């Protein structure tokens, strides 16, 4: 999960505010994503735009999404959110894209070591 320069992690912050059962289910699907990577099929994962993908987790009638991208053989989760509409909003895609660009810049500058 991506941490910014200050050590903040939007995905962790989102998870921390959840009830235990919901968080456990999401963590299970994050583990499944780690195991299967780009082979995790729809409806559990999908391409959103360009390199940005989504992990889809449903709990009852609630839909949670975690946006991520691949870097080499790593999965970088940008953030999570509660999805209320059919499509992922442009603002959420833009947020993930901004985080991805920051990550790539920091990798290039040697600030992040994998």
Q: pTM for the whole thing?
A: 0.93
Looking at domain 10-108, its CATH architecture is 2-Layer Sandwich (3.30)
Per-residue confidence (pLDDT) for residue 84, from 0 to 100 = 84
Per-residue confidence (pLDDT) for residue 99, from 0 to 100 = 97
Name which of 50, 45, 85 is nearest 66 in CA terms: 45
Domain ranges of the chain: 10-108
Per-residue confidence (pLDDT) for residue 110, from 0 to 100 = 86
Per-residue confidence (pLDDT) for residue 102, from 0 to 100 = 96
The contacts of residue 40 (CB under 8 Å, 6+ apart) are: 32, 33, 55
Report d(CA 73, CA 80) in Å as an integer. Answer: 21
pLDDT in tens, the chain (114 residues): 999 999 999 999 999 989 999 999 999 999 999 999 999 999 999 999 999 999 999 999 999 999 999 999 899 999 999 998 888 999 999 999 999 999 999 999 988 877
């Amino acid at each position: 999960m991506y941490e910014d320069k200050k050590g903040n992690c939007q995905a962790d912050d989102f998870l921390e505010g959840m009830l235990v059962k919901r968080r456990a289910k999401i963590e299970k699907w994050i583990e499944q994503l780690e195991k299967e990577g780009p082979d995790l099929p729809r409806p559990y994962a999908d391409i959103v735009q360009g390199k940005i993908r989504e992990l889809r987790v449903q709990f009852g009638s609630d839909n949670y999404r975690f946006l991520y991208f691949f870097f080499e053989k790593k999965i970088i989760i940008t953030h999570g959110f509660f999805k209320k509409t059919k499509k992922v909003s442009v603002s959420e895609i833009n947020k993930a894209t901004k985080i991805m660009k920051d990550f790539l810049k920091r990798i290039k500058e040697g600030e992040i070591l994998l």
